[in-house]
Amino acid sequence: MSGPGYRFLGDEEKALVNRALDGWQINRYRFNDSAEPSMVYTLEREFEQRTGARHCLAVNSCTSALLTALAALGVGPGDEVIVPGYTFIASIAAVVHRGAVPVFAEIDESLTLDPEDVVRQITPATKAIVPVHMLGAPAAMDALRRIADKHGLFLIEDVAQACGGRYRGRALGTIGDAGAFSLNLFKIITSGDGGLITIANDAVYERAFAFHDHGFKPLRRGVADADSLFGMNLRMHELSGAVALGQLRKIDDILGTLRKQKTALSDALGALPGVTRRRINDPDGECFSFLVLQFESVEVARAVAHRLGTSTLIDSGRHYYGNMPQLLGRRMPTASEHPFGCQAHTTDRRYKPNMLPRTDDILGRSITLSVGVDDSYLGSGFGINPFSSPDEIAAVAGAVRSAVNELVART
């Protein structure tokens, strides 16, 4: 199981790692002014150039990226943060560990936040919205940006599964106040583990840098000002930075290959009875890493998934709120229930199964075919990979058509 970036690992990444090792440069800092810039520093600057982000900061995971972004924007005890019911558990954990309260909103047929339901969830305590660009495709960022601006809320993009994606010409992660990216094994580009943050505001960037590295100013040019946060150690390792830099430099090849493969699979599938395709908010801006089929009933979707040896999205791992035992049955908060406990915010908000009926229905009727991300935990354990041959693509399409035609006909 892996993501597309893993399959593209090659001599370019090895050369950069070896260059770091040749001089035993294994820390992101260069304390000798004559030394060449670090791999991590170069990665940050090249990511800024590619995305148009004002600032980029490399960290050790996307979870750290989310936590750092929330901290830098001042989200904490007493605040509510709106998140989708379909995401990875890290999007929720980062909110919880800031002492804030996750508030769930429905998704729509794009499998991303439904802007209309986001509006319904806003209260005086709401501080931020976290749209998640699930399965490589963008959320409805125009609508969400308008909502955030109207209500004075921060917009933090979770771009873990959509590095390189765009929305109406803008790079994902640059439309909100911050963006969080993942570089783990299952992502568009990888360094094994790692994360990136894009930030639009200079002061927020300084706070983010301080939070990720013990309160220091950017690039450790002195201790940050007195109003900075107590920092942690969330830095990216130099060897991870070297691998990620090599991957970033080939991301156009990766995305171009995924587009070609998804187009070939989609054409080979053709029209399927009783099946629609996932709505993509910007068809030119997706990463083409998945192909989602949506059925008319949960029963047929589960039967087809079983025939193919995969699962519906509602039956996949901790990407669906109903599969998160840390969350369900909890009351927010009491002072003793760390990390849920927070004396500053005594709410009776509860989390329970089936609290998002539209999300449950959509995920129950949806099956994901892999194009570049082979991950049964995510529900994409069946499909093709970036280097599948035309014959292999035809075989996968034939298996899907056969299962759908037989099982839809029974209903």
Catalytic residues: 187
β-strand pairing of 126-129 with 154-158: parallel
Q: What is the 3-state secondary structure (H, E, C) of the chain?
A: CECHHHHCCCHHHHHHHHHHHHCCCCCCCCCCCCCCCCHHHHHHHHHHHHHCCCEEEEECCHHHHHHHHHHHCCCCCCCEEEEECECCHHHHHHHHHCCCEEEEECECCCCCECHHHHHHHCCCCEEEECCECHHHCCCCHHHHHHHHHHHCCEEEEECCCCCCCEECCEECCCCCCEEEEECECCCCCCCECCEEEEECCHHHHHHHHHHHECCECHHHCCECCCCCCCCCECECCHHHHHHHHHHHCCHHHHHHHHHHHHHHHHHHHCCCCCEEECCCCCCCCCCCCEEEEEECCHHHHHHHHHHHCCCEHHHCCCCEHHHCCCCCCCECCCCCCCCCCCCCCCCCCECCCCCCHHHHHHHHCEEEEECCCEEHHHCECCECCCCCCHHHHHHHHHHHHHHHHHHHHCC
Q: Which structure tokens are listed for 277?
A: 């395709």
Q: CB of 108 within 8 A of CB of 98? A: no
Q: How far is CA 323 from CA 54, 85, 125, 353, in A?
A: 37, 10, 27, 9
